Chain A
Amino acid sequence: MQWIQSLGRTAIDFTSRLGHSLLFLVQALSGAVRCLPRFGLVVQQLYAIGVLTMLIILVSGLFVGMVLGLQGYYQLVNFSAESSLGLVVALFLVRELGPVLSALLFAGRAGSALTAEIGLMKATEQLSAMEMMAVDPMQRVIGPRFVAGLIALPLLAAMMSAIGVIGGYLIGHGQFGVDPGVYWSSMKEGVDLVDDVLNGVIKSVVFGFIVTWVALFEGYDAVPTSEGVSRATTRTVVTSSLAVLGGDFILTALMFGGL
């Protein structure tokens, strides 16, 4: 009996949070549109969540590219197809690893910071104080962060793909002696601008939307205590990571056929 009761309560809680988050999204989007005239606020946030996330993205991208170079070469050389190494590395990165991994890292680095920041602003009554000063927090605080997240993640994903390709080259050429011309030309021949690059960009825009939305909502909805903020931060990372991975499956199936 209690089991059924708690199941019902969980379902109701889940639905009501989903509803709240949708209402929040509407307000946040309106705030995002209204904050655009003061683009300086967006630029500040771009620095905080974009530029400061760059280092982790670049370092991880380099290693991912190098691992792809190693693994790709070991497999391809079996079929004497090591000339396609550049193509394999680039496709992996542009289609999948670039958008997905950068979104996961973005959730951990920038998303958690956003949630903690907004949650603490709420806990220390800064958001209430803004409201009482007749300043709409949606426009002043949430909006600029939303826009910045939407802009930052696609750029970060592009950087990750670019540096990953270079990492693959370093291994392919430096370690295994794959011809540079072959590495780059196989990439140039095989990677399609629309099918591969554009679809990758669409993915990272969607992921940027999801991660920023989750992070801002969790912060705004956090119980205003230190425990509440810490829980909200954890939830941001878990929820947005799962949403990114699930979303990636759906997007991939839609884009490259299969469903």
Chain B
Amino acid sequence: MVKVSDLQFGYNGRLIFDGLDMQIPRGKVTVIMGPSGCGKSTLLSFFGGRLKPSRGEVRFDGEVVPFGAGERLYAMRRNMGMLFQSSALLTDLSVFENVAFPLREQTDLPEPLIRILVLMKLQLVGLRGARDLMPSSLSGGMSRRVALARAIVLDPAMIMYDEPFVGLDPISMGVIVSLIRELNDAMGLTSVVVTHDVHEGCSIADYVYLLGNGKVMSHGTPEEMQNSEQPETRQFMRGLPDGPVGYHYPATDYGEDLRGNG
């Protein structure tokens, strides 16, 4: 579904991706994991054509993703849904209008049909009763579900989740985890989940990519990843404080520093 080849990208003089290759299989849930700040979320910006690679390319459904604006990119984006970490609901619109927003902007459907479509999607995420609320009165878990309903209202082929588990209580987390799996299977979606939550990530993944140092460090099914003996993978999957990724930020010699010679 998505094919990333030889992606290179730097920001502020720091190389974030250095020759990254990745393939997202169609119809599966692919989880992209990695330590904070390794560029997982940035990668999604490349899928959506919001950033321009300095080398390499990203293909969506066989076509190179263009950058910036333009009809071709917009046509491609209509086929992608994205769930932002902050949910990114439009704060001046009600829950109903937020979900209806893509339909109103992208289609000329009559009002009764829009109403039916919106209510169907809200029912899927269990928030049909909350349709008249404003985003400011929703809890974190609820607004993420509304954003999810909005992301799938145009029935995209692929949906991207940017850190969907961050900041949720256990119940909301469970709801989101099962929604991702169910939506993927029921709607025949391709799902890409970016997270650093090993447990939740592995519980829904069909395939896992682990990023580090601007590359894919390792990839495989969740079981393969959990049993991996590769040191970096082992450290991340088991959450060990020290290992190839050092506990200490690079620094001068400790003793020298204390003596004031650092």
Q: Inside 8 A of B212's CB, which chain A residues have their CB?
A: none
Q: Inside 8 A of A130's CB, which chain B residues have their CB?
A: 90
Pick the contact of B88 from A125, A135, A140 — CB < 8 Å? A125
Q: Is the interface of A mostly helix, strand, loop or mixed?
A: helix
> B160: nearest residue on chain A (CB-CB)?
A132
8 Å CB interface, B59-88 against A = 69, 74-75, 77-78, 80, 82, 84-86, 88
8 Å CB interface, A128-155 against B = 128-136, 140
> A140: nearest residue on chain B (CB-CB)?
B105
Are B90 and A134 interface neighbours, CB within 8 A? no
Are A134 and B88 interface neighbours, CB within 8 A? no
Are B90 and A126 interface neighbours, CB within 8 A? yes
Are B105 and A124 interface neighbours, CB within 8 A? no
Are B102 and A125 interface neighbours, CB within 8 A? no
Most buried by A among B85, B88, B89, B106: B88
Any chain A CB within 8 A of the CB of B252? no
Docked CA distance A124–B150 (Å): 16
Q: Inside 8 A of A125's CB, which chain B residues have their CB?
A: 84-86, 88
- Contact A134/B82 with A124-B88, A128-B88, A129-B88 known, Cβ cut-off 8 Å: no
Q: Inside 8 A of B78's CB, which chain A residues have their CB?
A: 134
Docked CA distance A252–B147 (Å): 52
Are A129 and B82 interface neighbours, CB within 8 A? yes
- Contact A134/B91 with A128-B84, A140-B105 known, Cβ cut-off 8 Å: no
Docked CA distance A200–B80 (Å): 50
Are A133 and B86 interface neighbours, CB within 8 A? no
Docked CA distance A128–B154 (Å): 17
Any chain A CB within 8 A of the CB of B48? yes
Q: Inside 8 A of A134's CB, which chain B residues have their CB?
A: 74-75, 77-78, 102, 105-106
Q: Inside 8 A of A140's CB, which chain B residues have their CB?
A: 105
Q: Inside 8 A of A121's CB, which chain B residues have their CB?
A: 91
Docked CA distance A125–B106 (Å): 20
Are A126 and B77 interface neighbours, CB within 8 A? no
Any chain A CB within 8 A of the CB of B26? no
Any chain A CB within 8 A of the CB of B128? no
Q: Inside 8 A of B85's CB, which chain A residues have their CB?
A: 125
Are A128 and B50 interface neighbours, CB within 8 A? yes
Q: How far, in Å, is A229 (CB) from chain B's closest CB?
A: 14
- Contact A132/B48 with A124-B86, A126-B88, A126-B90 known, Cβ cut-off 8 Å: yes
Are A136 and B69 interface neighbours, CB within 8 A? yes
> A27: nearest residue on chain B (CB-CB)?
B69
Contact with A along B83-115 (1 / 0, CB 8 A): 011101111000000000110011000000000
Docked CA distance A64–B172 (Å): 57
- Contact A132/B86 with A124-B91, A126-B91, A140-B105 known, Cβ cut-off 8 Å: no
- Contact A135/B105 with A124-B88, A126-B90, A129-B88 known, Cβ cut-off 8 Å: yes
Docked CA distance A140–B48 (Å): 19
Q: Inside 8 A of B77's CB, which chain A residues have their CB?
A: 131-134
Q: Assuming A124-B91, A134-B74, what are 17 further A-B pairs, CB within 8 angstroms?
A: A125-B85, A126-B89, A126-B90, A129-B90, A131-B48, A132-B77, A133-B102, A133-B106, A134-B77, A134-B105, A134-B106, A135-B101, A135-B102, A135-B105, A135-B106, A136-B69, A136-B74
A-B contact pairs, 24 of them (CB 8 A): A121-B91, A125-B86, A126-B88, A126-B90, A128-B50, A128-B88, A129-B84, A129-B90, A129-B147, A131-B50, A132-B48, A132-B77, A132-B80, A132-B82, A133-B101, A133-B102, A133-B106, A133-B154, A134-B74, A134-B75, A134-B77, A134-B102, A135-B101, A135-B105
Which 10 A-B pairs have CB atoms at the shortest separation, nearest pair first?
A129-B88, A125-B88, A134-B74, A134-B77, A132-B82, A125-B84, A135-B105, A133-B102, A134-B78, A125-B86
Mark B residues whose CB is within 8 Å of A: 48, 50, 69, 74-75, 77-78, 80, 82, 84-86, 88-91, 101-102, 105-106, 147, 150, 154
